[in-house]
A and B are shown apart, each in its own frame.
Chain A
Amino acid sequence: MKFYKKEGNTAHVIAFPDEEAERGDYLLIEDRESGRGLIAQVIDVQFVNLPGILEDLLRDTMTAGSVEGEDEDPFGVSSQVAYLKDARLLVCKIRGAIEGGRLLAHAPWLPSRIGSIVRRISIEELLCDGDPKRPIRLGRTKSGKGVVIDAKGLDGKLNIIMGRKGTGKSHFSKLLLLNLVKYGAPCLVFDINGEYVNLGRDWDGRPNEFGDRIMVLRPGAQRFDVRSVGLRAMMDILLHALDLPPTSAKVFASMWKELAARDALSLGSIGTAIQCWSCHESVREALASRYHSLVESGVFGDEGCMDFGEIAKWLGDGNAVVVNMRNKSSLSRRIIVELFLGKLTELLSAGALRAVFLFAEEAHLYLGDTYWDDVVTRMRHLGIFATFITNQPETIREGIYRQADNIFLFNFANDHDLEFVSKTAKLDADSVKLLVSGLPERHCLTIGEAVRNFPLIFEVERLSADTLGQTRYFFND
């Protein structure tokens, strides 16, 4: 390979057909004389624009089919010409530099064009930072080399997993989840399609190593005692999920405190109180309608209910809780999410929990507009480290992308989606568009701190756990 030119952050390298390089590969343009080199990532592979190539191709076209024949080429020069015709131009983006053995983010210098040697470098050379203490094997590069990050790279971070339907993004989030659980990280999953519920089992149905580490909650089947929910979390639900006006909320708070003072707090007593409470009729109507929504959601109850203390302890012991919201109405989902986020905030504020890794699939379906910033800023400081998973990149606000530490991109074929993602993905637009549009199924482009800011393409590791979430088909042949 030969270093051809550099324009801005783009380097062009010439490669011959026997010098393999594909999109996503890393090259080191090494100026041995000065002992430094550029680290460049191939984002596109084109043909070299050779002089006379058009004439060659036209000749081939003119004679193809109409004329057949043989070549007597005693020196085998024609093979050289054919070889040359297939010469490739590797369009690369410079991702960093090496100088005196140190990795640098930027290179203000230019390596020699004549004296530089260009060679492919393996992912180990880039990600190598000693042996990771808590290795997570994410997958393998096309050369078969394992992609391993340290769980620490996800700690305290905001992650976004994106890709169109059926590309493997849910599978990847499960991989992250199980690896975090393996290292005793408390995890909470908002499972909108009920696809995380069998992670404790292998494909053959037998319990796996996570069988006793994952608690699946089915709000409705399991109910929560309003006393363990608490006024603060209930007010969050009423205000944010059910849009209760502040005046009515004040009345509700008074009512709650009155019932609590009498040790008569229950779902039933709240209903009775709303009917009897001395207040304006409009307030009563507002409270009554919200109360019915609470009851209808099936999340709350008075008898045989779960206590949040149990969930806090389970999480605190380094396990995972999957909140199955499958078949729940939009309103019920919002109530459930509000309840869990409110309680987590309480537990984290009180120091009952150190941190929680939150996995939220298609969060726009249950997270109110005003809540996003809260999750990624205030709650992050409290210790809720979110991973959003979506196939609709526009449903996540641009501000959230800017704060993301790691972005895991699966294939997007739609130009509109690619355009949006390219603006937000912490990477130049050309790289995103060219690398992401060509990703095969189950392949991921990772951008961010987890990969030391070297965008990396790999095939996601398979899981033995029952991941369920594959796209369901009618015709299975």
Chain B
Amino acid sequence: MVHRAQDIVGNGEISNLLLRGPRAPIPDALMRLSFDSLERLSPMRGVLGEGLEAPEEPPLEIGAPTAPVEPIRVAPRECDSPIAAVDVSASKVGETREGIVVALRGAVVWRIGRSHRYLRYGPLPFHIAEGSADPMLGLMEAPGGEDLEQPQSGLIQITARLRNLMERWLQESICSSFRDSIILFDGSLTAGTPDNPAGALRRILEEARGNGNSVLAFSKATRLLYNGRSVLELARGADPPYVIDIDELISRAFPSHPIKLLGRVYVSRLSRDGPAFRLDADRGIGPDGALDAISKLLGSDIASAGYPECLKLAHILSAFTANEIVGIQRFLSGHRGIQLIQRPNLRRILFGPFGGWGGAA
């Protein structure tokens, strides 16, 4: 049987659609913002290997289940449904007097039949300065009448917003380009924070459903706890592959406003040799649709460790290596005339040769 997506949209056509379709995968505004921000770039201290982790949020206790949680066995089902995944990475490239320089890169990977293909966007460098926060915050979509907390303007938060913006654009691109496919996101389908407005995600999921797609989101880590333990430890003794529906537990724990749980939440363990993941399935496709999509995914794209191969490749292709950060620094130095300077070492300045080499206290 030839699947409709294959019939209508082949591999090359998907590339064309994603790259040159009516909806550009990288919004012009984001591109312009990148160019403009680099215009104001001052001498930069290169940094290497520094992550851009937002401050860790506290864990959320969802309370003990009122009834024993029952794993739902999921049987792999062979199918020809295309599978597509999106991931976006951000990395710090340097520090300036005014702020930081970051780079974003996104990757879309899809599988039709046995072959994988990818489209990679970026790296897009941005100079994020305290004074430049407004145009960047303005890029974020108005949250659709939702009463959000006042947006935070810290450099890390702005970076997170840019990353989210790019990720949502790519997600929307594949949701509109693919038909009858399984679309995989990295993270959860929870939205409603200033960095992650719910309106954008809701629209993406609607677009996906309109094209017959099922959206599943995988989180490698979760801050959800029950009885002080991670929800991922629920039903540890069960025989994979299985999922556990914890949607009701989660819904109870979250206020309905401003946080929106746009996905039905499961704990999934899809292979014996892999860990459990939080899995969100688009609430709009219903529980049966979710289990059907998980079965299809299991039958075609689950690699070792119970993680989707497309999503793994999207992560590998989008992540920055230290070598690439040096390359971006070189680009900024060579093409934008940015002077790279050594990071002053305060311990060295204060203690001279007794200041040690590292920055450890």
Task: Indicate whether A and B interact.
Answer: yes
Q: Known contacts A59-B317, A74-B26, A77-B331: does B326 contact A51 (CB below 8 Å)?
A: yes
B residues 1-33 in Cβ contact with A at 8 Å: 15, 19, 25-26, 31
User: What are the residues of chain B within 8 A of A77 when measuring CB–CB?
Assistant: 103, 122-123, 125, 327-328, 331
Kindly specify which of B58-66, B112-120, B187-195, B286-294 makes contact with the partner chain: B112-120
Q: Does A75 contact B (CB under 8 A)?
A: yes
User: What are the residues of chain B within 8 A of A218 when measuring CB–CB?
Assistant: none
* C-alpha spacing A77/B335, complex, angstroms: 10
Number of residues on chain B facing chain A (CB within 8 A): 36
Cross-chain contact A53 with B323 (CB below 8 angstroms):
yes
Cross-chain contact B123 with A66 (CB below 8 angstroms):
no
A residues 35-89 in Cβ contact with B at 8 Å: 50-53, 55-56, 59, 62-63, 66-78, 80-85
Which residue of chain B lies nearest to A81 when distances are taken between CB atoms in the complex?
B327
* C-alpha spacing A84/B25, complex, angstroms: 28
* C-alpha spacing A50/B109, complex, angstroms: 28
Q: Known contacts A77-B327, A84-B323: does B109 contact A67 (CB below 8 Å)?
A: yes
* C-alpha spacing A143/B31, complex, angstroms: 45
Q: Known contacts A75-B125, A77-B123: does B15 contact A51 (CB below 8 Å)?
A: no
User: What are the residues of chain B within 8 A of A72 when measuring CB–CB?
Assistant: 19, 25-26, 119-122
* C-alpha spacing A67/B331, complex, angstroms: 27
Cross-chain contact B119 with A51 (CB below 8 angstroms):
no
* C-alpha spacing A464/B280, complex, angstroms: 82
Which residue of chain A lies nearest to B20 when distances are taken between CB atoms in the complex?
A72
Cross-chain contact B116 with A67 (CB below 8 angstroms):
yes
How far does the Cβ of A174 sit from chain B's closest Cβ, in whole Å? 51
Q: Does B130 contact A (CB under 8 A)?
A: no
User: What are the residues of chain B within 8 A of A71 when measuring CB–CB?
Assistant: 119-121
* C-alpha spacing A297/B123, complex, angstroms: 83
B residues 285-310 in Cβ contact with A at 8 Å: none
How far does the Cβ of A59 sit from chain B's closest Cβ, in whole Å? 5
Which residue of chain B lies nearest to A76 when distances are taken between CB atoms in the complex?
B331
User: What are the residues of chain B within 8 A of A55 when measuring CB–CB?
Assistant: 321-323
Partner of A85, one of B49, B120, B323, B334: B323
Which residue of chain B lies nearest to A85 when distances are taken between CB atoms in the complex?
B323
User: What are the residues of chain A within 8 A of B121 when measuring CB–CB?
Assistant: 71-73
How far does the Cβ of A437 sit from chain B's closest Cβ, in whole Å? 30
Please list the 3 inter-chain residue pairs (A to B) with the smallest Cβ-Cβ separation, ordered nearest first.
A52-B322, A69-B118, A81-B327
Spell out B's residues near A (CB within 8 Å): 15, 19, 25-26, 31, 34, 48-49, 103, 109, 115-125, 313, 316-317, 321-328, 330-331, 334-335
Can you list 18 contacts pairing A with B, beta carbon distance less than 8 Å?
A55-B322, A56-B321, A59-B317, A63-B313, A67-B109, A68-B115, A69-B118, A70-B119, A71-B121, A72-B119, A72-B120, A73-B122, A75-B335, A77-B122, A81-B324, A81-B327, A83-B330, A84-B330
